[in-house]
Amino acid sequence: MTDMIRNPILPGFNPDPSICRVGDDYYIATSTFEWYPGVQIHHSRDLANWRLVTRPLTTESQLDMRGNPDSCGIWAPCLSYADGLFWLIYTDMKRYEGNFKDGHNYLVTAPSIEGPWSAPIYLNSSGFDPSLFHDEDGRKWLLNLQWDYRQREGGDRFGGILLQQYDAERCCLVGPVHNIFAGTEMKLTEGPHLYRHDGWYHLLVAEGGTGYDHAVTMARSREITGPYDVHPDNPVLTSRGDPENPLQRAGHADLVETPAGETWMVHLCGRPLPGTRRSPRGRETAIQKVEWGADGWLRLAQGGNTPALEVSMPGIEQRLPAEEEAHDFHLGTLPQVFQWLRTPQPERLFSLRDRPGYLRLFGRESVGSWFEQALVARRQDSLHCAAETMLEFEPEGLQQFAGLIAYYNRFKFHYLAVARNDSGDKVLSLISCCDEWPTGNLTTVDTGVVLRPGLPVRLGMDIREGELQFRYAHGGVDWQPVGPVLDASLLSDEGSGRAHGYFTGNFLGMAAHDISGRGTSADFAEFRYRRMVN
């Protein structure tokens, strides 16, 4: 496609975008929640074509999420550049259910986007969605929402946007804390970013929650501490009045200015399955052209306040992702597309050296453990896709199993596993948790497939929108379907709707579990991912 950008620009689970420009280079940081390493940073030269360049939080001192519940971990990072350094602010959320939210805010810096990234500086724990504003006078200011644990009228515990100065020499916050903005009638005010334009401080926030009422609102003041006057046409961006728009849940945004002086907004969005409110690809990142009006307020360049699926950008050709990705493990490093869960000690989960050319997973705790499970996976970024792997695994008993998994969280997954049955046969078993919150009850299916000892087995899955079909090939027999067609739509932020909201997206990958504690290993020779339709 020429002269147009088609949204989203970061498909698949890539929420809460923060964007900055350094010369001709653009960078977007997005949330990774419980997936390790922490924070995804993509790079572009044209705002249309993006490449993952790093995940900077790689050490135990920077990030240790063992014990963090589902959809906790890295919330809403903020990436900026000033004084010859990249500045990355992030929240490590330890708890988010109930009245309390235990989230701790940190700062790391680096001279280059590839690092080395510094040891973390602790900032505060007063609320999440922190961002750092570098003012024209050289002062730096931290913003974050204030969390109010009390049961307030309407259930809104978002207690306003806090502002406090950061002393870069002393590496700490200093001076008084100002509550500069209580939000609008949309409530749930979060995701603050500050900008200086034409003598005004412009405050951009997300409101309305992260679901289908999500929105971007703005306010401005002559003084950084306020008072802030709200935008006359709020919300600036939302999908809540446009249910047919393919980009739903639009909100949580950030701004960037090009060298030519144009302004662009990146924002969160979701693409639910047709006819549903289920989004297996999670919350993604889109982009819109915006303009400053004669009255000094920012608005969408195309008019209105709903996100456009396609945005004009003359002279740009947006490249489509490869139809197929084939990953082997001969290089001895984990391909960048993969992540694992929570732990800063991946050597306890997998090895690429124990058996050269293979990814060896060491069976650890149960499926969905919040501490240590051997699960290595990549994002689902297409509604029509397939994943395949080849596995060598000899389980010792019913407590060891390994295979191919579609995983959202501990309550939502489908797992085609090599296991042992009560007769001692090596078999294929289907293990699912179909959004059984809060019990986590499993559905297990005996497929009737008996595998020959000592032989590898190929495992595959095909996803067609809301349906998932597993398949296998073994002992010279070509691909065969196995088990029933499963509900893939449950592997989404919304799921059945019985539980509270989640914030990640579906992952497809390789897993090994050994709840006996013996660490039985499983060897994976390759992993293939194919996009049929984006």
372 flagged as catalytic: yes
Bridge partners (DSSP) of residue 406 are 414, 508
Is 348 in a helix, a strand, or coil?
Answer: helix
Is 346 in a helix, a strand, or coil?
Answer: helix
Q: What is the DSSP letter of 452?
A: P
pLDDT at 155: 64
d(CA 397, CA 419): 7
User: What are the pLDDT digits (tens) for 84-109?
Assistant: 999 999 999 999 888 899 999 999 99
d(CA 235, CA 210): 14
Q: At 451, list the tokens.
A: 């595998």
pLDDT at 156: 85
Look at the chain and count its residues.
534
Q: At 51, list the tokens.
A: 């490449």
Is 42 in a helix, a strand, or coil?
Answer: strand
Of 262, 325, 372, 465, which one is the catalytic site residue?
372
Within the chain, which residues score under 70 in pLDDT? 1, 152-155, 498-500, 533-534
Q: What is the pTM of this model?
A: 0.97
Bridge partners (DSSP) of residue 174 are 165
pLDDT at 495: 86
pLDDT at 338: 98
Bridge partners (DSSP) of residue 127 are none
Q: What pairing do the DSSP bridges indicate for beta strands 25-30 and 2-6? A: unpaired
The overall longest dimension of the chain from CA atoms, in Å, is 78
Bridge partners (DSSP) of residue 137 are none
Is 198 in a helix, a strand, or coil?
Answer: coil
d(CA 362, CA 113): 32
Which segments of 393-474 are extended strands (E)? Answer: 400-409, 412-420, 426-434, 443-450, 457-464, 467-474
Is 12 in a helix, a strand, or coil?
Answer: coil
